[in-house]
């Protein structure tokens, strides 16, 4: 497996070197809007610790990472009135990974609604910012 590249896009976002639309952050994780969302409310949960994927990650990061995934999954479900939430994660190119800093996709789902393509079309940034605000509101007043 290749070494972790500290200049991947998400490492730069974590260091604040390139912009992102942030939804939530704590000492272990950062949550941002995916710029090519497969459904409205598609976010990415990034551990701050560097690893290419799940395969080379320190297992100590999984507890805080998936605690954030659960909090965010509930928030996107509430914010978008979703019936379910897709949580997915790719490891290496052959599995579909395109950015080589471990991340978990959290996508609100409604029955019968088709997913847009993975890494498809860039979203309107104003709309993404509005969706981020909806998720933040749900985080501030959880119903579960
Ligand atoms: P994966 O590595 O799991 O295949 O997917 C990477 C995800 O990151 C894709 O869903 C893609 O839309 C998203 N993405 C790629 N570049 C950027 C970026 O610069 N900013 C943000 N917020 N998302 C990105």
The residue extents of the domains of the chain are 9-139
Active-site annotation holds for 103: yes
Q: What crossing angle do the helices spanning 62-79 and 125-140 adopt, rounded to 10°?
A: 100
pLDDT at 72: 98
What is the H or E stretch that residue 30 is in? strand 29-33
What is the H or E stretch that residue 128 is in? helix 125-140
CATH superfamily label, 9-139: HIT-like (3.30.428.10)
pLDDT tens-digit profile, the chain (144 residues): 899 999 999 999 999 999 999 999 999 999 999 999 999 999 999 999 999 999 999 999 999 999 999 999 999 999 999 999 999 999 999 999 999 999 999 999 999 999 999 988 999 999 999 999 999 999 999 987
DSSP 8-state secondary structure symbol assigned to residue 105: E
Ligand 1: residue whose CA is nearest its atom 20:
35
Residue to substitute in 4, 14, 118, 119 for testing ligand 1 pocket (most ligand atoms within 8 angstroms of CB): 119
């Amino acid at each position: 497996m290749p070494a972790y590249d500290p200049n991947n896009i998400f490492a730069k976002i974590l260091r604040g070197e390139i912009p992102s639309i942030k939804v939530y952050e704590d000492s272990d994780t950062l949550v941002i809007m995916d710029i090519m969302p497969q459904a409205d409310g598609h976010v990415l949960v990034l551990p701050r610790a560097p690893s290419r994927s799940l395969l080379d990650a320190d297992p100590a990061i999984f507890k805080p990472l998936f605690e954030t995934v659960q909090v965010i999954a509930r928030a996107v479900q509430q914010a978008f009135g979703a019936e379910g939430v897709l949580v997915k994660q790719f490891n290496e190119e052959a599995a579909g990974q395109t950015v080589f800093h471990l991340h978990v996709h959290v996508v609100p789902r409604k029955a019968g609604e088709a997913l847009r393509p993975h890494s498809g079309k860039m979203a309107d940034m104003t709309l993404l910012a509005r969706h981020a605000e909806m998720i933040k509101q749900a985080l501030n007043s959880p119903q579960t």
